[in-house]
Structure 1
Amino acid sequence: MPRSVLLTSLLLLPSLAPAAEPSPEVKRWWSHVQFLADDRLRGRDTGSEGHREAAAYVAEQLAGLGVKPGAGEGYLQEVALVSRRLVDARSRLTLVREGKRTPLVVGREALISPRQGESGQLDAPLVFVGHGLSIPEANHDDFAGVDLQGKLAVFIYGGPAHIPGPLRAHHSSAAERVKALKKAGAVGAVVLLNPKNMETPWSRSALSRLQPAMNFADTSLDDTSGLQVSVSFNPAHAEKLFTGSPHSFKELLALADASKPLPRFELPMRLQSSAEWVSTPVTSVNVVGVLPGSDPVLAKEYVVLTAHLDHVGVGAPINGDAIYNGAMDNATGVAAVLEVARALQAQKPQRSILFVLVTGEEKGLIGSRYFAAHPTVPRDAIVANFNLDMFLPLFDFTRVVAYGQDESTLLAPLREVASAHGVKLQPDPNPSSMTFIRSDQYAFIRQGVPALSFKFGYAPGSPEERTFKDWYTRHYHAPSDDLRQPIHKDGAIKFVQLLTDLTRTVANAPERPRWNDDSFFRRFARTNTPDGKQDTPLSNP
């Protein structure tokens, strides 16, 4: 063979150089993800054997790191729950117009929420109420002048773009939404999803109705009950609701997408529903550890790091796989908290650090809501919360989105630390997704604690943006969120290092964080008492 041909052939061969050896930091972080997302734990469903095994693993890791038990004499805080499963075979939805009954295919055209509602039958008229929001702070009230007594409120999930994202998100939370609907006299809700803002295909979202829902055994902790039924409608079939009405669903979507005012009107039909739930008691656990602070005074205050340990367990199979492993959601976040705990040991901060791996996030933030109602340290001693919920290390870590960054004085240390790490701070790229109220930081916010939640950022129109959005379409709440998907491990470690430095900076600061004077969430803050502690909320939310 001529020498030139031989050289060309060798250049075309794959590189025989060995792949770079992962760093010790990568190996440790990834080992936690591997354990938690293994098929053996069967998706870590709340209260399941797999979740208990995951909790035992996390407690063992904290103990090995020298983190002390933070739930009394141990690491586990028990949470008494009630699991309820919708009997799908006995669920019925029917539209009735001018005496004509049109049965709906549950799962394909619409679904009954497993989280809200009561067993039994309901027959009620329908009223379209825009986005179904009542936001006094923005002079916005979709229920003003509308008769909803004994009726079902039909609305498009989302809200006007001119209303700040966190404020809009707060009033879109289940608790605030149910409170407003009950005040208006509605007996239930029909939620219309906007295709523009749907993170996952309807076919996969519909499978969630087969998963058990959960709530507190202590009903005094439940602030989302009171509706007889809650229905979600597939946008591909939503025009059925508007037959004979003055507006089509397509027309209303166009107004919503343009952030124009939505009309409110009665629909010329009724919805009949029939549903049955089966309930069973369940006990699950939060895992709580504490790293005592180094300063005798500041050690009595706490910065809390949270991540949810649960996922959705075993569900309907997709491509032959029925185990929803939850690698990104949220084994990655739990692994990051464990590695921050390791890193902080080398130089302990002045304030104490509380590590709380909560249960039941996928069931409605119930673990964090329970901990916020029953904290294992004085409630007023908690000064800040940093929450990790699938921070999505899908590419290199060069930008960060910190939900809530404009609401409190946590922005200053965040800017300082991000700059030191060469990471660009990015605003929420999609306020319509309501991310600020969809994870465990929200339980702390409602107790007056300034909080941030994080995700990797990306430049608009970049390949990273396409990767980010594609992950939701393909993997969010799917069995494919497993250990085989691409994960940027080095990027994850860069994030862990930034979070470590941010936690230490806030824990060492002389002043505790506070809400900005113009933040809506300042109303949840607690006033200072003469002894310097914080006591009651500034106003009743």
Structure 2
Amino acid sequence: MSRPLLLPVLALLSTPAAHAADLSPEADRWWGHVRFLASDSLQGRDTGSEGYRKAAEYVSQQLAALGVKPVVGDSYLQELELVSRTLVEERSRLALVRGGKETPLVLGKDAIISSRVGESGTVDAPLVFIGHGLSIPEAGHDDFAGVDLQGKIAVFLSGGPSTISGPLRAHYASSAERAKALRKAGAIGYISLQNPKHLEVPWSRVAGARKKPAMQFADTSLNEDQGLKLAVTFNADRTEQLFTGTPHTFKQILALADSDKPLPRFELPARLEARAEFTRAPVKSANVVGLLPGSDPALAKEYVVLSAHLDHVGVGEPVKGDRVYNGAMDNATGVAAVLEVARALQAAKPRRSILFALVTGEEKGLLGSRYLAARPPVPIDGVVANFNLDMFLPLFPLTRVIAYGQEESNLAAPLRKVAETQGVKPLEDPEPNQMRFIRSDQYSFVREGVPALAFKFGFDKGSPEEKVFRTWYRERYHAPSDDLAQPMDKEGAAHFVKLLTTLTRTVADATERPRWNTDSFFRRFDKTGTRGGVTANP
């Protein structure tokens, strides 16, 4: 990761052979970054891979060329020690046992065993269905109340009641909070059930990714979702067999959930027998971090962080003969936008400092951003806001924007003002059950008390744009077809870069630092006493 920068060579590689005559210079520059980062030569930028190293080197030399300074000594690289874990499937198994009769489950067809959570060894335990498996004291919701899970496996349906705010629901559904609640209740593992109504990708793609290694921190004190023996995800089309012999069918459970009615909790008349074996190997990767110093001495020791994950999922199971998961939308687009915002802000000279963070291991569980937020190169109490880009999806012109987290802090006010001046309407999260507020790198900063927003192009319900949005997830999300050949609105991306640049500068130049709203659950994570206490904007 620490090879000398190859600026002339990589700059040449990143430049299209001929500038597109129909693109503005801003869109052309953005597209040039995407072209390099999503090229087949980088082999999908898997965490710790040679392709990822090339991507990190490219981003480092781009930041250097823009006058952004290194902050980890004289390097842009904040290195991480990780461990990869791979399930040895031929020596692993699952089976349901009822009345002494064993029914083997086919790995990849019926269910998959997580490589990220669990231990090598055997499990033989009864099953208990616990609704959505959420304990949310602030909402008076507890699926664990009155349920005996000691030594048992919890079975729960993904999602949660819409009567609870999306960000709050998402926080308690995060892997760390879920594991904490299960451990407290005495469960030794869990089975997660998919709700077909909320599926982003088909089961075939989920199953195809199961053989790829998961990753954890080598420093085990940073691994928050450990302590369980087994984690399993069931195929929605094969889940009905779990409910055989109970008063409820899976179809009935789904109907209750989809109509937002309380879910029953009950023991399943079956045990799960499992064996899992994992191999482990050390992995090194790195975040790329650069600093644009603030122009105001009174504010220069406060920071706005712009983040985007640099990794993707590498090379995997072939789809239509293609094994390279290029990750053009996810997330070459976001990295390219951060680089172009850096270009614009370098000339604007904002009052506060700007930290540009292109992080690793997002696809492995937000590892890079968690490490950066836990061990930042600048004081965390000086970080006033985080704007995160994770496949912001420039699939059509930018007329609507979804900003996850806008209801939690007064960042909503500058967002609305900037968006309005650029002809863009901010929208609320249309799909809170997708839990996107906790599924990308902004969540690492939120848990350190930093107000944050994450962005996607928005759409009106029932519009053609909504159809394009949903088709993209179904056909391209975590698939080889997320490549350079897919349609993108490059001018829309350039428009978004302009919006984000203006928003970042507005927050960086403001006299007051951003604050959590008084009614925000996430205000409790503020360790400084300087980020809380404003009334939510009407």
TM-score by length of 2: 0.95
Deviation per residue, 1:195-227 (Å, 9 max, x gap):
000000001011121111001000111101011
Q: Tell me the residue number matched to 2:320.
A: 319
The equivalent residue for 2:415 is 414
Name the amino acid aligned to 2:43: R
Offset from partner CA, 1:245-283 (integer Å, 9 cap, x none): 111100000000011000100000001111111000011
1:174-211, Cα deviation, whole Å (9 max, x unpaired):
00000000001100000000000000000101112111
After superposition, residues 64-463 of structure 1 pair within 5 angstroms as 64-463=65-464
The 3-state SS of whatever aligns with 2:329 is helix
Partners of 2:243 and 2:342 lie apart in 1 by 54
Which one-letter code corresponds to 2:68 in the other structure?
Answer: V
Within 2, Cα distance between the matches of 1:199 and 1:91? 27
Partners of 2:112 and 2:260 in 1: CA distance: 27
Separation in 1, partners of 2:209, 2:176: 20
CA separation in 2, counterparts of 1:418 and 1:89?
53
Give the 3-state SS of the residue equivalent to 1:41 in structure 2: helix
**TM-aligned CA distance change 1:76 to 1:406, over 3 Å:** same
Give 1:72 deviation, angstroms: 2.2
Q: Secondary structure at the match of 2:115?
A: strand
Distance in 1 of aligned mates of 2:73 and 2:434 = 37
Q: Which residue of 2 aligns with 1:539?
A: none
CA distance in 2, matches of 1:69, 1:298: 19
Unmatched tracts of structure 1, length 5 or more: 1-18, 536-541
> How far apart, in 2, do the equivalents of 1:63 and 1:20 lie?
28
Query: Per the alignment, in what secondary structure is the counterpart of residue 300 of structure 2?
Result: helix
CA distance in 2, matches of 1:195, 1:481: 22
State the match for 1:35 in structure 2. Answer: 36
Task: Please give the secondary structure, in 2, of the residue aligned with 1:526.
Answer: coil
Rounded Cα–Cα distance in structure 1 between residues aligned with 2:290 and 2:88: 39
**Dislocated runs of 4+, deviation >4 Å:** none
Q: 1: CA distance between counterparts of 2:341 and 2:496? A: 10
Corresponding residue for residue 9 of structure 2: none
> Which residue identity is paired with 1:368?
S
Shift of residue 89, structure 1, vs aligned partner: 1.4
> Contact 2:514–2:531 (CA<8 Å) still a contact in 1?
no
Q: Deviations over 1:348-406 (max 9, x none)?
A: 10000000000000000000000011000011110000000000000000000000000
2:477 is matched with: 476
> For the residues of structure 1 that align with 2:142 and 2:209, how far apart are their CA atoms?
31
Deviation of the 1:534 alpha carbon: 7.9
In 1: Cα distance, 2:435 partner to 2:178 partner: 13
Q: Could you give the per-residue CA deviations for residues 106-163 of structure 1, whole angstroms, max 9, x where no partner exists?
A: 0011010111010011000000000000000000000100000000000000001100
Give the whole-Å Cα distance in 2 for the aligned partners of 1:459 and 1:145: 42
Structure with larger Rg: 1
Distance 1:478 1:172 in 2: 25
Separation in 2 of the partners of 1:271 and 1:517? 45
Checking the alignment, whether the CA contact within 8 Å between 1:337 and 1:355 is kept in structure 2 is yes
- 1:321-342 Cα deviation digits (max 9, x unpaired): 0000000000000000000000
1:83·1:212 contact (CA, 8 Å) conserved in 2?
A: yes
Q: Distance in 2 between matches of 1:345 and 1:152?
A: 53
* Structure 1 position 346, deviation (Å): 1.4
Given that 2:84 and 2:215 are in contact with CA atoms closer than 8 Å, whether structure 1 keeps it comes out as: yes
Find the aligned partners of 2:347 and 2:401 in 1 and give their Cα distance. 25
State the AA in 1 paired with 2:401: V
Q: Determine what percentage of the aligned residue pairs are the same residue.
A: 69
Aligned-partner Cα distance in 1 for 2:470–2:267: 36
C-alpha contact 1:70 1:354 (8 A) present in aligned 2:
no
Kept in 2: contact 1:387–1:454 (CA 8 A): yes
CA distances 1:405-464 after superposition (whole Å, capped 9, x unpaired): 000010010011000101011110100000000000000000000000000000110110
Measure, in 2, the Cα distance between the counterparts of 1:90 and 1:426: 48
Q: In the alignment, is the contact (CA less than 8 A) between 2:72 and 2:78 conserved in 1?
A: yes
Secondary structure in 2 matching 1:223? coil
Q: Which amino acid in the other structure matches residue 131 of structure 1?
A: H
SS of equivalent to 2:335: helix
CA distance in 2 between partners of 1:82 and 1:463 (Å): 43
1:492-539: CA deviations, max 9, x gaps? 0000000000000000000000100000000001244xxxx789xxxx
Distance in 1 (CA, whole Å) between partners of 2:458 and 2:207 is 29
1:507 corresponds to: 508
CA distance 1:140–1:201, change in 2 (3 Å): same
Question: In structure 2, the residue corresponding to 1:284 is in which secondary structure?
Answer: strand
Task: Tell me the distance in 2 between the aligned counterparts of 1:91 and 1:473.
Answer: 30
Q: Distance in 1 between matches of 2:85 and 2:74?
A: 31
Contact 1:125–1:151 under 8 Å retained in 2: yes
Query: For residues 427 and 415 of structure 2, what CA distance do their matches in structure 1 show?
Result: 11
Instruction: Determine the C-alpha separation between the residues in 1 that align with 2:27 and 2:165.
Output: 38
Aligned partners of 2:381 and 2:528 also within 8 Å: no
Distance in 2 separating the partners of 1:512 and 1:305? 16
Verify: 1:57 aligned to 2:67, yes or no.
no
Amino acid at match of 1:225: Q
Amino acid at match of 1:519: S
Q: Could you say what secondary structure the match of 1:300 adopts?
A: coil
Say whether the 8 Å CA contact 1:333–1:388 is kept in structure 2.
yes
Q: Deviations over 1:271-298 (max 9, x none)?
A: 1111111000011000000000000010
Matched letter for residue 418 of structure 1: A
Moved more, 204-213 or 389-398: 204-213
Q: Secondary structure at the match of 2:459?
A: coil
Query: What CA distance in whole angstroms lies between the structure 2 residues aligned with 1:481 and 1:114?
Result: 24
**CA contact under 8 A between 2:42 and 2:50: conserved in structure 1?**
yes
Separation (CA, whole Å) in 1 of partners of 2:102 and 2:453? 49
Partners of 1:448 and 1:161 in 2: how far apart? Answer: 25
Aligned length: 514
RMSD: 1.2
Q: Which amino acid aligns with 1:312?
A: V
Which deviates more, 193-202 or 63-72? 63-72
Do the aligned partners of 1:72 and 1:376 also contact (CA within 8 Å) in 2?
A: no
Is the 2:42–2:51 Cα contact (8 Å) retained in structure 1?
yes
